[in-house]
C-alpha cells in the first residue's frame, strides 16, 4: 500500500520547515524509514507577503537543489504549496501554478481568525474555477467552523497529530468514514525524528482506515509529476 504524506515542509530554504539541504535529506530519510512512498512538498505561500511569481521562482531553485542531493531510496516528491486563503484569492494571478504539479489539487490553509462569508465564498469560487481544494489540517480549527467546510462538500486533510489525543481522534476517524478526508499529512517541520513519530503512530492507530485515505490520495494524485520524473532543466535549453 502506498503511504502518502500529503503535507510536509521539506524544500531547503523554502520556508521554516528546512533551513538546509542537510535537513531536507534527513527529513526524507525519516520518511523513507517510515515506509512512506510519496510526499507532497508544501512550502507556505502567504498572499499578503509575496507574489506567486517570486514564490515560484524561489521554489524552483530549492527543487533544483534538492533534486541533486536526494538520499538513496527517497520517496517520490510531488511539488505543491500550502496556500493561505484570503478573500478574493480566486482572482489572484498565478494561483494555477500553486497546485500539486500536474494536478488541480490545491492545499488551502484557512486563517486562525473567524471565517467570514467572504472567505468561505472565495473557497467555493476557487473550486468553481476548476481547482480541487483540499483544506489543510482541519483538526487545528474548532469543529464548529470546520463544519462550514464540510457542509459545502469540501475535501479535507488531517494532520497525524489529530489522532494522538486522549480519545485517539475519534471524531476525525468518523470523518474518514464519510469520505471527506482525502489525505493525511505529517506537516513536518525540521528533521528531529520525534517530529515524525505522530505520523507513524497515526498509521498504527488507524490501520485499514489509513489505507482507505491513502487510496483516495493516490487516486487524486494520478497524473501528478514527481520531482524525480522531471526532465533536467538542461534538456529544455
**Distance in Å, CB of 82 to Fe ion, minimum:** 5
C-alpha 18/C-alpha 122 separation (Å) is 30
Query: Rule CB under 5 A: which of 170-199 touch Fe ion?
Result: 187
DSSP track, 75-138: PEEEE--EEEP-TTGGG-TTGGGGSSTTS-EEEEEPPSS---HHHHHHHHHHHHTT-EEEETTG
Cβ distance to Fe ion smaller for residue 190 or 230: 190
Q: How far is the CB of 221 from Fe ion (least distance, A)?
A: 18
Q: Closest residue to Fe ion, Cβ-based?
A: 187
C-alpha cell at 151: 457542509
* Distance of closest approach, residue 207 Cβ to Fe ion, in angstroms: 25
Q: Convert residues 51-90 into a mask of x (bound to Fe ion by CB under 5 A) and - (unbound).
A: -------------------------------x--------
Q: Which is nearer to Fe ion, 59 or 211 (CB)?
A: 59
10 Å CB burial of residue 109 (0-12, 13-18, 19+) is buried
Does residue 15 bind Fe ion (CB under 5 A)?
A: no
Which residues are at the interface with Fe ion (CB under 5 A)? Answer: 82, 187
Amino acid at each position: 500500500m502506498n503511504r502518502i504524506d500529503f503535507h510536509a515542509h521539506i524544500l531547503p530554504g523554502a520556508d521554516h520547515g528546512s533551513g538546509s539541504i542537510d535537513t531536507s535529506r534527513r527529513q526524507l530519510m525519516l520518511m523513507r524509514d517510515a515506509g512512506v512512498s510519496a510526499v507532497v512538498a508544501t512550502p507556505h505561500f502567504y498572499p499578503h507577503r509575496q507574489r506567486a511569481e517570486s514564490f515560484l521562482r524561489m521554489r524552483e531553485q530549492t527543487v533544483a537543489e534538492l533534486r541533486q542531493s536526494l538520499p538513496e531510496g527517497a520517496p517520490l516528491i510531488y511539488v505543491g504549496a500550502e496556500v493561505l486563503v484570503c478573500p478574493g484569492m480566486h482572482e489572484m494571478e498565478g494561483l494555477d501554478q500553486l497546485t500539486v504539479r500536474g494536478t488541480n489539487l490545491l492545499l488551502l490553509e484557512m486563517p486562525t481568525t473567524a471565517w467570514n462569508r467572504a472567505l468561505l465564498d472565495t473557497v467555493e469560487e476557487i473550486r468553481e474555477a476548476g481547482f480541487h481544494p483540499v483544506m489543510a489540517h482541519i483538526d487545528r480549527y474548532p469543529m464548529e467552523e470546520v463544519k462550514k467546510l464540510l457542509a459545502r462538500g469540501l475535501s479535507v486533510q488531517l494532520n497525524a497529530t489529530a489522532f494522538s489525543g486522549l480519545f485517539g481522534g475519534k471524531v476525525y476517524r468518523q470523518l474518514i468514514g464519510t469520505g471527506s478526508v482525502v489525505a493525511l499529512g505529517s506537516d513536518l517541520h525540521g528533521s528531529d525524528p520525534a517530529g515524525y513519530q505522530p505520523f507513524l503512530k497515526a498509521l498504527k492507530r488507524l490501520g485499514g482506515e489509513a489505507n482507505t485515505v491513502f487510496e483516495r490520495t493516490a487516486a487524486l494524485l494520478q497524473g501528478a509529476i514527481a520531482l524525480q520524473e522531471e526532465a533536467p532543466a538542461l534538456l529544455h535549453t
